[in-house]
Amino acid sequence: MSEQQHREQAGQKSGFETRAIHAGYEPDEATGAVIPPIYATSTYKQDGVGGLRGGYEYSRSGNPTRTALEGNIAALEEGERGFAFASGLAAEDTLVRALCAPGDHVVVPDDAYGGTYRLFDKVERAWGLEHSSAAVSDVDAVRAAIRPGETKLVWVETPTNPLLNIGDIEALAGVAHDAGALLVVDNTFASPYLQQPLTLGADVVVHSTTKYCGGHSDVVGGALVVRDLEVAERVAFHQNAMGAVAGPFDSWLVLRGLKTLGVRMDRHCDNAERVVEFLAGHPDVTQVIYPGLEEHPGHAVASRQMKRYGGMVSFRVAGGEQQALGVCERAEVFTLGESLGGVESLIEHPGRMTHASVAGTDLEVPADLVRLSVGIETADDLLADLDRALGARA
């Protein structure tokens, strides 16, 4: 038995960084390897018909590398069971099919990742699942959007993408449970290091592990973590039946990323705070959106449920859409690109890029908005780059 297992058996929970490094895998008995192998196999030799070694028969149903990742992320989110997928959207679709049926209803955020909205609006609606949008920062609005007897899931992002609104997870869990629904929290922006929604009453956590969990912009993946074993069984059945699982190499990359999540997130937050301070004093910036600012409407809630405020920063510029586009194009250290959460800093124009799919809907984002994923480079270089990019109006 490992030291971590001894501690947990004695009722002493290991620290986050210890769990990130050790949870989900014990050193290999044959070789002593401290890192899980990449089990690049599709099938497994059986010891007689139905005689499975460790429960493995086919790698869609289970793979030891994926098992290690699923155990690790479940430990970090303090959940009962984790599930790894080929992408965040694959995780979301599997969850919806597992917990909903045609004719059911879901409440979704009025500020959310465009791909999530597209999934609900263009794919799940055609399947027969209805949805309504509500501001995650307004508990009464979420309550009003629920349809008694029909709403099965209340789906929130906190912080939201890209306007960084904050939802009170504990309060929203109460609202969902009072209506007989489950609360699903997309924890991608915060990561398990900064926030554990299951400990606040959420039922399911969703991640795009492409982002902070992987952390190096070299893998696409998704994950679900649940706190109820009955929900876990339903998700497990659909994960296997639908088949959009994480492959062994992708699982290995995400697991490698999780081991350094804590130290990376601290640096992301440090740099983001420097960027926010710079932008707040720039004459061409009309608004800085960051939960760490006292004037942010969700600051008090974020301070209560998050360890720190994250590496995502959004801001609006005085010159409108053209200046926003110009800032994105002139940046050099900040790479113009979609996605977020990697070690490198990224800049994007949500209206033309990640959120183009919500144009003309309630989720449409301001045209003068720029979104930053602040990386872990030298902070002074990031500030100098933003100064250059903002220096000349388009």
Amino acid 22 reads: H
- 113 as an active site residue: the answer is yes
Longest dimension (CA), the chain: 73
C-alpha separations of 346 from 79, 199, 310, 373 in Å: 31, 31, 14, 5
- DSSP H or E segment with residue 237: helix 229-242
With a CB cutoff of 8 Å and minimum separation 6, the contacts of 319 are 284, 326, 368, 393, 394
Report the C-alpha gap between 254 and 220 in whole angstroms.
Answer: 9
Residue 357 is classified by DSSP as G
Residue 245 is classified by DSSP as B
* Catalytic, out of 110, 168, 186, 250: 186
- Please, are residues 100 and 235 in contact by the beta-carbon 8 Å criterion? no
CB atoms within 10 A of CB 113: 26
Report the C-alpha gap between 254 and 340 in whole angstroms.
Answer: 15
- Please, are residues 72 and 23 in contact by the beta-carbon 8 Å criterion? yes
- The SS3 assignment for 99 reads helix
Report the C-alpha gap between 305 and 282 in whole angstroms.
Answer: 30
Sheet of strand 369-373: strand arrangement: 285-289, 312-317, 369-373, 346-348, 335-336
Amino acid 10 reads: A
- 143 as an active site residue: the answer is no
Structure tokens at 32: 């002593």
- 186 as an active site residue: the answer is yes
- DSSP H or E segment with residue 186: strand 182-186
- 211 as an active site residue: the answer is yes
User: Rg of the Cα trace of the chain?
Assistant: 21
* Catalytic, out of 39, 113, 193, 309: 113
- Please, are residues 364 and 307 in contact by the beta-carbon 8 Å criterion? no
* Catalytic, out of 143, 211, 316, 371: 211
Catalytic residue set: 60, 113, 186, 211
